[in-house]
Structure 1
Amino acid sequence: MVQEEDAGKGGDAGRGDSKARKCPICGKPATPRHRPFCSARCADVDLHRWLGGVYAIPAEDSDEAPPLAGEPRK
């Protein structure tokens, strides 16, 4: 009987996810197959944004170039 009770949980038992997560692209409920997205389309949209440079981590440019391997530091 224990197997029947656990059968519909999809392997998420014990995670504590009481709410369904939403797709970060369109806001629809995420599906287990494309998690955290709702579909392959939304996953592809996200990948395109990463590859196109829409998502970027800001960085500061330094005035000096880093030393090359084998060069002493100043």
Structure 2
Amino acid sequence: MIIAEALDTLQALLIAGGIWLIVGGITLLLALTLTLLGLYGLIRVAWRALRGPDRPAWARSRTAARRYARREPDYEEAA
């Protein structure tokens, strides 16, 4: 009788410990993932700030870059 109660208690403790282990692992995984995503975003922002704007050097603005890039080619000058 006492052994049966001890085994039931052991089973309950093992199940509770397993649940805590799984919940702790998921929590740690989420925390690590969010930390790494935050660091990645911070590094990207810093890199873009140091590198400068994301446009060609000959364009003074994004509008000018689009206008220059979409212009029809003039084949007469090349000939």
- Give me the TM-score of the superposition, normalised by structure 2: 0.24
Q: Considering fraction of residues, name the structure with more helix.
A: 2
Higher relative contact order (CA 8 A, sep 6+): 1
